[in-house]
C-alpha cells in the first residue's frame, strides 16, 4: 500500500521533486510518496530502509527539524540505508535546489586568508587549494555539497546561497573539507 503525503504549503518549485520512502529494505513494506519537506518522517512510520528518488535532489537529515548528519540524494534507487551512506534508518528530509554555480572558500573564518573560487565539481580540494582546512565560504550561486573527504566520501553538508562565516555554520564539527560537488539534479 502506498499513498501520497500532503503538501505543507511551500511555494511551488520550478521542477517536479518526488521521493518515495519504504519502511523495509529493497522497496518493501509500507511506502510514502512526498514532493515537499517533512521535519519528522516518524509521524508516518517508524523507520525508513529504502528510498526511490523519482525527481529532484533531496537532503535527508538524521534528526528532527533538519539537524544532524546530512545525506544528499539524487535521482535513483537506494535499496537500503547503507546505499546513501546512512548510519541508521532514521531520517527527515527536504528538497534541495540548484541553478548556476559559484562558491568561494577561505582558509580562515570571516572570509579571510587565502581564497579560491569554484564553479565546477572538485574531487580533491587539497589538490587545488593551498590550505588543508576551509573555515568559511560564500555560496554566490547554486547549491553545493561539501564532503569530508576527497572523491565525494564521508560526511556531507548542503550549502545553499549565502554566507558561512565559520564551518559550524554549515553544520560541521571540524573545518575538514576534502571535495565539493554542485547540486545539479532537478
pLDDT tens digit sequence for 102-122: 999 999 999 999 999 999 999
Contacts of 174 (CB under 8 A, 6+ apart): 167
Query: Per-domain residue ranges for the chain?
Result: 18-96, 102-182
Share of the chain above pLDDT 90, in %: 37
The pLDDT of residue 10 is 34
**Is the fold of 18-96 the same as that of 102-182?**
yes
Whole-number Å distance between alpha carbons of 106 and 66: 26
**Do the beta carbons of residue 79 and residue 26 sit within 8 Å?**
yes
The pLDDT of residue 8 is 32
CATH class of 18-96: mainly beta
- pLDDT of residue 96 exceeding 60: no
State the CB neighbour count (10 A cutoff) for residue 83: 14
Whole-number Å distance between alpha carbons of 117 and 137: 10
The pLDDT of residue 84 is 67
> Does residue 155 sit in helix, strand or coil?
strand
Whole-number Å distance between alpha carbons of 24 and 51: 9
- pLDDT of residue 34 exceeding 70: yes
- Higher-confidence residue of 72 and 171: namely 171
What's the chain's average pLDDT? 80
Taking residues 4-16, report their average pLDDT: 40
Of 2-6, 78-82, 116-120, give the range with the top mean pLDDT.
Answer: 116-120
DSSP states of 89-125: S--EEEEE---S-EEEEEEEGGGEEEEEEESS-BS-H
**Do the beta carbons of residue 104 and residue 117 sit within 8 Å?**
yes
pLDDT band at residue 91, thresholds of 50, 70 and 90?
low
**Do the beta carbons of residue 84 and residue 72 sit within 8 Å?**
no
CATH class of 102-182: mainly beta
pLDDT band at residue 3, thresholds of 50, 70 and 90?
very low
- pLDDT of residue 15 exceeding 60: no
Taking residues 90-113, report their average pLDDT: 77
Positive or negative torsion for Cα 98, 126, 132, 69: positive
Taking residues 58-86, report their average pLDDT: 77
The pLDDT of residue 140 is 93
Side-chain-facing half-sphere of 141: CA atoms under 13 Å? 9
Rg of the chain over all Cα atoms, to the nearest angstrom: 17
Amino acid at each position: 500500500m502506498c499513498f501520497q503525503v500532503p503538501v505543507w504549503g511551500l511555494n511551488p518549485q520550478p521542477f517536479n521533486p518526488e521521493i518515495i520512502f519504504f519502511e523495509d529494505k529493497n522497496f518493501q513494506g509500507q511506502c510514502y510518496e512526498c514532493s515537499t519537506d517533512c521535519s519528522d518522517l516518524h509521524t508516518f512510520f517508524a523507520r525508513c530502509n529504502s528510498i526511490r528518488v523519482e525527481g529532484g535532489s533531496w537532503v535527508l537529515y538524521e534528526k528532527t527539524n533538519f539537524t544532524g548528519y546530512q545525506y544528499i540524494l539524487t535521482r535513483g534507487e537506494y535499496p537500503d540505508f547503507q546505499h546513501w551512506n546512512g548510519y541508521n534508518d532514521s531520517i527527515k528530509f527536504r528538497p534541495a535546489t540548484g541553478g548556476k554555480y559559484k562558491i568561494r572558500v577561505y582558509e580562515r573564518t570571516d572570509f579571510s586568508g587565502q581564497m579560491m573560487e569554484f564553479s565546477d565539481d572538485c574531487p580533491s580540494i587539497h589538490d587545488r587549494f593551498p590550505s588543508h582546512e576551509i573555515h568559511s565560504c560564500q555560496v554566490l550561486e547554486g547549491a553545493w555539497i561539501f564532503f569530508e573527504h576527497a572523491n565525494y566520501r564521508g560526511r556531507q553538508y548542503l550549502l545553499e546561497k549565502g554566507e558561512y562565516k565559520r564551518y559550524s555554520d554549515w553544520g560541521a564539527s571540524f573545518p575538514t573539507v576534502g571535495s565539493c560537488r554542485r547540486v545539479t539534479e532537478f
